Structure 1
Amino acid sequence: MTLLITDEARVRTLTLDRPDALNAFNEELYDALADALIDAAADPAVAVVLLTGTGRAFSAGTDLLEMHRIATDPTFQRGRHGFPGLIDALEAFDKPLVCAVNGLGLGIGTTVLGFADLAFMSSTARLKCPFTSLGVAPEAASSYLLPRLVGRQDAAWMLLSAEWVSAQEALRMGLVWRVCEPDDLLAEAHRHAAVLASRPISSLVAVKRTMLAPLRDGIAAARELENAAFAELMGGPANLEALTAFAEGREADFTGM
């Protein structure tokens, strides 16, 4: 099992549960989380979803070993939803989504915050958008959502540099709403989620839909551009060097690229 699902006070907690892989997303986990969001959206007993992770990571992003297989093995079987289907489910999810970033967050472990309505972060957690260090393009409409969330220059630094962002930096940027001590994180996030869940679902949905409506065209356009750039770069020289270096346990060498 790669995803734990629990319910309390109309809050459904979805916990990424691949701790040995730092909760990195393989095709199985993409499918499981997409299905869970679709199910939660349709369940009248669920008012709010709280997303977190087990172990020392929120999510290390895409499983790079599996990504290497996808890039080099034409027979690899993709999931039913995969990454695109998860982003579809996040974009369509019309109930409040609360994220509790318990540890390291890379790639989708950071860009998912663009779809969060409230984000809490452990004081010891760190975030990174590693796209340029992998020789690929942004994802999950982050090229559109992050500048709106944190401002153009902070977003540019995150997306261009592939450097770590601390919890305090994330709070200053507005990438997260609250920073908590590690032992307090989940309880604090759940407490706020329960406040939202005490409100009528119809009103919660109406508020979220009206807030998102002006953004939907921008999200769709960004995803189209990102997907085209990602398809062009994935499997290219820089991406293959990054993935090979990861598999071999060495630093990538982008000299001349």
Structure 2
Amino acid sequence: MVIRRVLLDAFGTVFSPREPVFQQYTNAARSLGLHVEEDAVKNGFKRGTFPFKQWAQSHPLYGKLSSPPLEAEEWWSNVIADTFRYAGVATSAFEPVRAQLCRSLVRRFWGKEGYELHWDCVPFLRALHGLPSPAGTHRRFPAPGIASNTDPAVSKILHSLGVLAGQTDPPDAGIRAEEIWTTWAIEEDKKDVRFWQEVLRRMRQTSGEADLQAEEVLVVGDELVSDYETPRRAGFRTLLLRRDLAGGEHARASYDDETDGLAQVDSVVTLLDVVEWIRRENGSTV
């Protein structure tokens, strides 16, 4: 079957932190007068995977399922506070600036202050838009959708980075706001096939293509389980994005599949390679 639609992961695929997150945490803390060592924050941030997991378990979906529900900003603020606590920052020094620091960091990571687009994202959107639609239901190949393991802030990030429909050139090459699907909204994890089944159901609605099949949708992302193996089990076509980011671990969501032994997967190095892959797969149709 030909590829009719594309779904992209967000973090590590479309955008990544401008600098390692622990550096941004350190700079934000110092700007408010906290005396913190970068290495301590880095170590605290690594240990901070524990408070993240703890909060994810005790308050799933960024607090959406808590009773009463938490706002995502409050959820993240608690993770941030625990990270600094693990970094050894004394409570007496932290509490006076806690609210301001947590608010500034949450909002930093809501947009281009904390994140930047990967160089190939905009050229990819334009190149994908330049393909004719293989299904004949669109004048051009539709813009990609987003499948993200996060909260609604991903829409703010994408808007801040200028890649939503109406912000790009041409305007309809950008990502449509109604085609940004998150685990927060769907209430399933990307490692669960039910997430992908629900995304397909919603994509059929937003695209007006009730006959769209999973094998006609290509999923591209940088995490082996979430973006490659699980959607493939749900019937989707998948490509693992393996950018060459030597020394740039902060720009990838995961290196697990490579550190544990290089997995034998269908992969690409850039998003532009995805366009060429679609050309080859669709053959003379495109």
TM-score by length of 1: 0.25
Larger radius of gyration: 2
Structure with the larger RCO, 1 or 2 (CA within 8 Å, 6+ apart): 2
TM-score by length of 2: 0.23
